[in-house]
Structure 1
Amino acid sequence: MKALRIIPYFYLFIALLFIYDFIDKIIKGEGYFWLGLAIAAVAIFMFFFRRNSVRRMEGYKNNQPKK
């Protein structure tokens, strides 16, 4: 279960890498820089989505009756 709490932060790391790539390509004047921005946006969305789903699973786990 600890791995599920760490995985969303990998998405955040990937988003930061692609934002850096986006800025670097704009400065250098290269093409296809929008693809990096789109991937960063998807990674940020996945960060919030996965974090919310982990919280929801923990909530369900805490509300189950003890056997």
Structure 2
Amino acid sequence: MGYLKYTQYVYILFAVFFIYDGVIKLNEGIEGSTMSFIIAGLAVFMFFFRRKFARKFDDRNKKQ
């Protein structure tokens, strides 16, 4: 279960990639940049959600 502490950072990598993709599409005039920014926002949300969940899980294990 130790790997779950590090998988949350994959969401940050996805967010950075999709922000980059959205900026490139926006500058080149290609449609779909809005979708890239939406996916990046969801990835950031998932990062914070997973981080909060992991902390709750660790706190619960420490109490037992």
Percent identical across equivalent pairs? 36
User: Which consecutive residues of structure 1, in runs of 5 or more, have no partner in the other structure?
Assistant: none
Cα distance per residue 1:4-49 (max 9 Å; x no partner): 1001100000000000000000110111110000000000000000
Unpaired segments ≥5 residues, structure 2: none
Superposed displacement of residue 2, structure 1? 1.5
TM-score (norm 1): 0.92
Q: Does 1:40 align with 2:40?
A: yes
Question: Structure 1 CA distance, aligned partners of 2:32 and 2:16?
Answer: 17
Structure 1 residue runs of 4+, over 4 Å off?
none
Larger Cα Rg: Structure 1 or Structure 2?
1
- TM-score normalized by the length of structure 2: 0.96
